[in-house]
Each structure stands twice: as C-alpha cells, then as structure tokens.
Amino acid sequence: MLSMTLILVGVGLIGVIYAGAGVMDKFSTLNKSARHMDSYTGDRGFDSANARTDLEELGIINAICPRSVPLLKEKLEDEGFCLLQKRRGSTEGRIGIFKNAYLGTPLRSKGYENRKTRIEWCILGHNLWKLAAMAAQKRAELEAELAAAA
C-alpha cells in the first residue's frame, strides 16, 4: 500500500516540462538528478503515440491518462493504472496547497535564481512541517500502545 504522505522531492527547477516535449527528453532531464523512475503519470495533455513508445522503450509503467476513450476504458480495468491516477490527484492537491500556502500568490521573487531559491526554501519548510506531523502522530501511537499495555 502506498503511503499517502507526500514529501516533496526533486528540489530545483529544471525548466518547464510541457506536453509537446518528448518523454525521452523529459526523462533525460529528470534522471540527471533523480533515481530511476518506475512509472510515469500524467493527464491527457501528456498522452501521445511517441510518449507511449518512449515509455515502453525505457521499461517504465505508462500511467498517462489516454486521450482515446476506448483506450481509457481499457486502462481503467488495470488496478495499477487506477491507483497511480488516484495518487496523481492527491499529489496535484498537495502541490496546490504548497503553491498557495507556502509560496504566496504571486511569488514575490524576481528573476529565475531568486524564485528557484524561494521555492527550495519553501519545499524545505513544507517537508519539515510534514516530518514534524509524522513524528507527532508516531509519538501519539506509541503513547496509546504504552497506555494500553499498562
């Protein structure tokens, strides 16, 4: 079972990844700083024949939501695809919270380097907040176990 706690990783802006770029281009950029990725999940804007071919060549699970309705119906029968799409939804929600609660609207840092630094500090703050919440939850669970054992 996947943990529903999201710690933001991939600190650092690598440029805009848009639907028109090939998946191979995206992965060559992402893999410079990341470990091997097992799956790739995206919305309908990222679906293309090239993307499907590229992911298959790389041996990566394709969980991009297909544009084709018949293909989508076929994919929805796959439990792994549904799980990854569900996870994508919660991740997008977390990114929305991060963007609105941590960065502020608008992001008041001028220039790419300043924005990059601001985002990195905000990611650090977010992750420390999440780790503290996880530690508090674990402490409460341990105290409950000790109280039950006593």
Neighbours of 23 (CB within 10 A): 24
Task: Record the tokens describing residue 46, joined without a space.
Answer: 């990222």
Kind and range of the H or E element at 39? strand 39-42
Helix (H, G, I), strand (E, B) or coil at 3: coil
Q: Per residue in 57-71, pLDDT tens?
A: 878 888 888 888 999
pLDDT confidence of residue 36? 65
Amino acid at 21: A
What's the pLDDT tens digit per position in 3-41?
334 444 544 444 444 444 555 666 665 555 555 677 888
Torsion angle of the four alpha carbons 69, 18, 100, 38, in this order, in degrees rounded to the nearest 10: 70
Question: Which residue did the predictor score with more confidence, 24 or 82?
Answer: 82
* 44-58, 86-100, 102-116: which is most confident: 44-58
The model's pTM: 0.51
Residue 27, token pair as written in the block: 């992965």
